[in-house]
Amino acid sequence: MKIKLLLIDALNLIRRVYAAQPGDDGPNRVDDALKTSVHSLQRALRECRPTHAICVFDGHEPSWRHSLYPEYKAGRTPMPEVLDSNMNRFMDAFSEAGARSVCFPALEADDVIATLAGKVASRSGNVVILSTDRLFLQLVSDLVVARDHFQRVDMDRTHVQEKLHVRPDQVVDLFALAGYATNNIPGVPTVGIKTAAKLLGDLETLDTILSVAHTIKGKLGETLYRHAEEARLSQSLVRLKDTLELGLNLKSFRYTSQ
């Protein structure tokens, strides 16, 4: 039997659902978000039809990215306390729906998902990553797709090329240049997605772009030259770690239709 692993970026799902609920922060809003999140998960399981499913949560401790760049995710609206204090309820409900959860104290869900996706793909298994976070587009391959659950869109190689105008293997360098505001990753000042995509279309990689920045005419070349270190830092922050030792056995996450 060929493996098809569904990886759910749990907080991406929960926080989007919670934000869509009417009313002020409080127990009733959490209850509504819990019910809707479970329904969303159940729909994803029906639509994706995985053999295995894992809900991945962020750890509460600072990650290696905070050590590398203290301003990482600075300015992001914190999770409401009333929602954060109920995460165990979400984990339990997701497990009852057929998808067990994992959480590692100092690891971000992004890196855990990247590692799990890489391991399954290396064994010729298929992977669906349920998230609207565009950083996951760097993982897209013939075996890995990211899925926007809310729009019911599978973001494959063609989608990445059409939307970002780069290949999946260039996504890290794209956001290294343009920055990624969601996580407060700086990139190069004044360089947006379109400019970054054109540079990568012409020169292929960030390393090449920075090595010839002094020859690029006008303000763009000067900016790239002056902010090369910010670009390299951003590249490190954007790139997902896919070689973590997690100690998980995929057999524990087998999904049986309910």
Res 27 pLDDT > 90: yes
Is residue 61 one of the residues assigned to a domain?
A: yes
For residue 118, the enclosing domain spans 4-162+240-253
249 with 232, same domain: the answer is no
Q: Verify that 101 and 229 share a domain, yes or no.
A: no
Q: Are residues 115 and 191 in the same domain?
A: no
* The two structure tokens encoding residue 128: 């669906």
Please tell me the total count of domains within the chain. 2
Question: Which long-range contacts (C-beta less than 8 Å, at least 24 apart) are formed by 196-204?
Answer: 197/164, 197/165, 197/166, 198/165, 200/166, 200/170, 200/173, 200/174, 201/165, 201/166, 204/170
Give me the pLDDT at residue 226, please. 94
pLDDT tens, 148-192? Answer: 999 999 999 999 999 999 999 999 999 999 999 999 999 999 999
Q: What is the pLDDT of residues 128-150, one digit of tens each?
A: 999 999 999 999 999 999 999 99
User: Regarding beta strands 144-148 and 153-155, do their DSSP bridges make them parallel or antiparallel, or are they unpaired?
Assistant: antiparallel
Instruction: Give the dihedral sign, CA 91/73/163/113.
Output: negative
Q: Quick one: 98 and 216 in the same domain?
A: no
Residue 38 lies in a domain: yes
pLDDT at 257: 78
One domain, residues 187 and 110: no
Same domain, 27 and 96: yes
Report yes or no on 258 lying in a domain: no
CATH number of the domain enclosing 150: 3.40.50.1010
Q: Provide the token pair at 98.
A: 């057929």
Among 7, 11, 16, CA closest to 151 = 16
Residue 258 — pLDDT band, cuts 50, 70, 90? low
CATH number of the domain that residue 203 is part of? 1.10.150.20
Torsion on CA atoms 196, 201, 206, 211, rounded to nearest 10: -110
Q: Are residues 150 and 65 in the same domain?
A: yes
CA atoms of 1 and 149, how far apart (whole Å):
25
pLDDT surpasses 80 at 1: no
pLDDT of residue 145: 98
In-domain check, residue 182: yes
Q: Are residues 26 and 104 in the same domain?
A: yes
Residues 129 and 189 in one domain: no
pLDDT digits (tens, 9 = 90+) for 71-95: 999 988 889 999 999 999 999 999 9
pLDDT over 80 at 116, yes or no: yes
Q: Reduced to 3 states, what is the DSSP secondary structure of residue 5?
A: strand
- Whether residue 114 has pLDDT greater than 70: yes
Is 228 domain-assigned? yes
Average pLDDT, the chain: 95
DSSP string across 200-240:
HHHH-SHHHHHHTGGGS-HHHHHHHHHTHHHHHHHHHHHSP
- Which pLDDT belongs to residue 155? 96
Instruction: Say if 201 falls within a structural domain.
Output: yes
Q: Do 62 and 93 share a domain, yes or no?
A: yes
Q: Is residue 136 one of the residues assigned to a domain?
A: yes
Which bin fits 105, alpha (ψ -120 to 50), beta or left (φ > 0)? alpha
Asked if residue 116 and residue 9 are part of one domain, the reply reads: yes
The reported pTM is 0.95
**What does the alpha-carbon distance between residue 72 and residue 174 come to, in Å, rounded to a whole number?**
18
| pLDDT above 70: percentage of residues in the chain | 100
Give the pLDDT of residue 72: 96
**pLDDT over 90 percentage in the chain:** 94
Q: Are residues 146 and 226 in the same domain?
A: no
